[in-house]
Amino acid sequence: MMQAYAEGFEILHASDFKLDLAAIADLWNHGSVVRSWLLELAASAFSQDQDLTHLKGWVADSGEGRWTVQEAIDKDVPAPIITLSLLNRFRSRQDESYQAKVLAALRNEFGGHAVKTE
């Protein structure tokens, strides 16, 4: 849920419209089917600083995601959302992603897709 909310709010934040994310989180929490404590927390954070300028996008993990993914693997239980959320936490810790550079290079090589250089 946290990952889905984070992705959705990033899309809203990046839109061409000046949106009040705290009001949106509050509205969703009280006026739709996506009510949750996480939305209350989002509304609180956005009301303090909608751009979250005081935070770095580095997400720690306290171990629950790791052991949950490992248990899912050990028990042959598919858990793609939890697994991808854990991997996104790891991605958040990279200042620059070497794998993203490899992807950009490959796309440029096979199709002439644009790349950004320093």
pLDDT beyond 80 at 118: no
Whole-model pTM over 0.75: no
DSSP letter at 58?
A: -
Residues 6+ apart with CB under 8 A from 65: 82, 85, 86, 89
- pLDDT value of position 102: 80
Any idea which residue has 């239980």 for tokens?
77
Residues 6+ apart with CB under 8 A from 118: none
Distance, C-alpha 10 to centroid of its chain: 8
Beta-carbon-side half-sphere exposure of residue 23 (alpha carbons within 13 Å): 3
pLDDT in tens, 31-89: 777 788 999 999 999 999 999 998 888 888 889 999 999 999 999 999 999 999 999 99
Residues 6+ apart with CB under 8 A from 1: 36, 38
What are the domain boundaries of the chain?
A: 2-48, 60-95
- pLDDT value of position 26: 92
- pLDDT value of position 86: 93
Mean pLDDT, residues 1-12 taken together: 89
- pLDDT value of position 84: 94
The answer to whether the CB of 82 falls within 8 A of the CB of 72 is: yes
Q: Tell me the C-alpha distance between 79 and 41, whole Å.
A: 25
